[in-house]
Amino acid sequence: MTSARERPTLEAVARRAGVSRATVSRVVNGSTTVAEPIQEAVRQAVRELGYVPNLAARSLVTQRTDSIALILPESATRVFSDDQFFPGIVRGVSQELEAADKQLVLIMAGSAASYDRVERYTTGRHVDGVMFASMHGVDPLPGILARIGIPVMCSGRPMGRGTPPVPYVDVDSVGGAAQAVRHLLDAGRQRIATIAGPQDMVAGIDRLAGYRNELKGSRRRSIVANGDFTRESGAIAMRQLLEDDPALDAVFVASDLMAHGALRTLREAGRRVPEDVAVVGFDDVEIARYTDPPLTTVRQPIIDIGREMVRQLLRIAQGEEVEEALILPTELVVRESA
């Protein structure tokens, strides 16, 4: 009988089950080549002895860690701010990984030094797969990982064309932005501005493109100020727009958080929403329902993005072929701001 202080070993389980150590190892590591009665005898011995596998040793045998990394190239301050994109992505990823009995490794890399550390960690195969969200600019790391055989998935289309191309899950940002502008045009708005997202991010680029495409078709000129998806940048950009074109009567904002800041600026400037200036956001995070007035916005399925990233990544890890791009639909949610 194993004492309370001793950690049960594979040898102890083998003796209890009446099989070899190698057989116990195969059963514990999920092999399906062992006959079912023998597997049950091993499982019974494991339960009786309270055996817990040594995960480090098992990973050496199986070449698996059962861990998946989610890399956010942002500072902790940004990730844990009131931007609800990040909790939504993490929630979707966590739910799907839990269902697959995998461990999430959340990594924030908001500086060059921290990103160098992330590259060493991931290329060292400490995880079975890597997901990226909130990427800025042309990032070589997803392509590096794909070339050495580590499953990779991105949230949003990677900037630049890598070899091999890295698969991604995205939403129809171009179409969603165009739908927002069309809603404003249909309401009779004449001078429609936009607060664009950062132009080193695909979401910012695509939402600006959707805005411009729709305005071009209506023969109206673009009126653009740039933000960085934060509330304060939305407030500053809205002040700039009012200075550039005091007669504007509508604004499409590339994120709900920036739209919240824009609403504050409009209120301070004495502009009524939607009577004087109509406002449409993008995301449909919780804050959109509680702004004054409640925000008309384009809904993107943030939690589903996280879930689909995991599903696609696990298919790759199992050797399955996946499409390079999985594009999820957006939906216009009409409230009182436009």
Q: What is the dihedral of CA 25, 27, 33, 39, to 10 degrees?
A: 130
Please tell me the predicted confidence (pLDDT) of residue 60: 43
Quick one: DSSP state of residue 130? E
What does 148-172 look like in DSSP terms, one character per residue?
A: TT--EEEESPPSS--SSPPPEEEE-
Please tell me the predicted confidence (pLDDT) of residue 125: 79
- Cβ–Cβ < 8 Å for 283, 83: no
The span from the CA of 6 to the CA of 13, in Å, is 13
Query: Domains of the chain (ranges plus CATH)?
Result: 10-62 (1.10.260.40), 67-170+303-327 (3.40.50.2300), 173-299 (3.40.50.2300)
Please tell me the predicted confidence (pLDDT) of residue 162: 64
- Cβ–Cβ < 8 Å for 264, 287: no
Tokens linked to 67? 């861990």
The span from the CA of 141 to the CA of 99, in Å, is 27
Residue with token string 């990040």: 86
CB atoms < 10 A from the CB of 106, how many? Answer: 13
What helix, strand, coil percent values describe the chain, rounded to 5? Answer: 45, 15, 40
Please tell me the predicted confidence (pLDDT) of residue 308: 96
Mean pLDDT by 10 residues, the chain (338 residues): 57 89 79 83 85 56 74 86 88 93 88 82 86 89 86 90 82 97 96 96 96 89 94 97 95 97 97 97 95 96 96 91 93 97
Q: Which residue type, as a one-letter code, is found at position 62?
A: T
Please tell me the predicted confidence (pLDDT) of residue 62: 46
CB atoms < 10 A from the CB of 322, how many? Answer: 15
Indicate the pTM of the whole model.
0.79
Q: Which residue type, as a one-letter code, is found at position 185?
A: L
